[in-house]
Structures are given as structure tokens and as C-alpha cells.
């Protein structure tokens, strides 16, 4: 069997082309299907600089549309208590305020005129308490004041009952 140099070069070129196409397809697939991570950063007095984490808000909102998603509780040095983040499509924003009920911060999934997902969420603390939440995205940002609320528990009424023994002798 006689193989000349021309066939070897063509074979090498074909292998290189297949590798380039395969690597290109892998890179494209990995970059377009990578979930967008929303950076959540805590700032303010007593909170260590750069403390925060990332959440796949885009993936979660697409996988379970209309379902509220919670993260936490999270606590940090310089804060007065644990905070749980609850992202809900049904949250209505009034007067640029978000509600924190018994340590659960109720946040919208989307914001702004363009109804976009945030790229970054900044939680700002003052005197150890969560004071503001800022959403930043492609079309700008918006700051929400945090309104603290406590659920009042109804008093438990005491009930008296008679214990009846239904067993009989005999």
C-alpha cells in the first residue's frame, strides 16, 4: 500500500478541521447554555466588604414560572438577625418599598420598565438592620427601601376538656 505525502496532508487537515469545529461547537454550547448568576452583595456598616453570593435567578424563574423561590436564611457579622430572600412574581412594589416580614425579605423577580431580571442585587445595612435593596440591570437600577413588618400572632385560647375513658371493665 502506497501512501503519498499529499494524502497525509489532506488527512491532517481533515482531522484539524474536525477538531476546530468540535471545539467551537463545545465553546458555543457552553457559553450560551451557561446559567446567568445574579450577584447578591451585602454592604454597609459592620458588614465585611465583598460579602455576598450568587444565585441562578434566571434559571429558577424559567424552570418554575410563577413559583416563589427562597434563599437563606443568611446572617453576617454586624447584622442584627438572619434574613431570608424570597423572590416572587406576585410581589407588588409600592412607593419603592419592599416588605420584610419576620425576617423574610419579599422581592420581585423582575424590575423596571423593561421588566428585566437584575444582574446584581445590593443589600445595604445601616446600624445592623437591612435598610435598602438595589437592583442593577442593563437599563439602569432602582433602589427599594425596606419596610420592616412583624406578623401579630393571635392569642391562643385555653380550652378545657373532659377526658373520657371508653374502656369498660368486664
DSSP string of 74-101, one letter each residue: E--TT-SS-EEEEEETT---BTTEEEEE
Do both 28 and 107 map to the same domain? no
The model carries a pTM of: 0.64
Whether 25 and 98 map to the same domain: the answer is: no
Strand partners, 40: 53, 121
- According to the model, what pLDDT value does residue 163 have? 45
Residue 164: band (very low, low, confident or very high) from pLDDT cuts 50, 70, 90: very low
Question: Region 143-167: what's the mean pLDDT?
Answer: 64
Q: Which residue has the cell 435593596?
A: 133
Residues 20 and 45 both lie in one domain: no
pLDDT band for position 153 (50/70/90)?
A: low
DSSP 117: P
131 has a pLDDT exceeding 80: yes
45 lies in the same domain as 25: no
Residue 21 sits in the same domain as residue 43: no
pLDDT at residue 34 above 70?
no
Residue 115: give the domain boundaries.
38-149
- Find out whether 146 and 105 touch, Cβ atoms under 8 Å: yes
**Is the per-residue pLDDT at 16 higher than 60?**
yes
- Using an 8 Å Cβ cutoff, are 106 and 88 in contact? yes
Residue 7 and residue 58 in one domain: no
My answer on whether 68 and 6 are in the same domain is: no
Whether 84 and 106 map to the same domain: the answer is yes
Range 107-128 average pLDDT: 86
155, 76 Cβ separation under 8 angstroms = no
Three-class DSSP category at 33? coil
User: Cβ distance 150 to 100 under 8 Å?
Assistant: no
Per the structure, the count of domains in the chain is 2
Place of cell 430572600: 85
Question: 63 and 140, same structural domain?
Answer: yes
- pLDDT tier at 168 (50, 70, 90 boundaries)? low
3 located within any domain: yes
Residue 51: predicted pLDDT: 67
Together in a domain, 23 and 64: no
Most confident of 43-52, 127-136, 155-164: 127-136
Regarding whether 99 and 59 lie in a shared domain, the answer is: yes
At 167 the pLDDT is 53
Burial of residue 108, with CB atoms counted within 10 A of its CB: 0-12 exposed, 13-18 middle, 19 or more buried? buried
Amino acid at each position: 500500500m502506497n501512501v503519498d505525502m499529499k494524502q497525509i496532508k489532506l488527512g491532517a487537515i481533515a482531522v484539524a478541521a474536525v477538531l476546530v469545529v468540535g471545539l467551537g461547537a463545545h465553546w458555543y454550547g457552553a457559553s450560551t447554555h451557561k446559567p446567568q448568576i445574579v450577584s447578591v452583595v451585602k454592604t454597609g456598616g459592620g458588614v465585611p466588604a465583598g460579602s455576598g453570593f450568587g444565585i441562578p435567578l434566571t434559571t429558577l424563574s424559567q424552570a418554575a414560572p410563577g413559583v416563589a423561590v427562597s434563599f437563606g436564611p443568611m446572617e453576617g457579622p454586624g447584622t442584627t438577625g438572619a434574613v431570608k430572600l424570597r423572590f416572587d412574581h406576585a410581589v407588588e412594589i409600592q412607593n419603592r418599598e419592599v416588605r420584610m416580614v419576620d425576617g423574610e425579605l419579599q422581592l420581585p423577580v423582575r424590575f423596571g420598565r423593561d421588566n428585566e431580571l437584575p444582574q446584581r442585587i445590593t443589600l445595604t445595612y445601616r446600624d445592623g438592620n437591612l435598610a435598602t435593596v438595589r437592583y442593577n440591570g442593563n437599563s439602569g437600577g432602582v433602589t427599594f427601601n425596606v419596610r420592616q413588618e412583624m406578623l401579630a400572632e393571635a392569642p391562643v385560647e385555653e380550652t378545657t376538656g373532659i377526658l373520657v375513658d371508653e374502656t369498660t371493665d368486664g
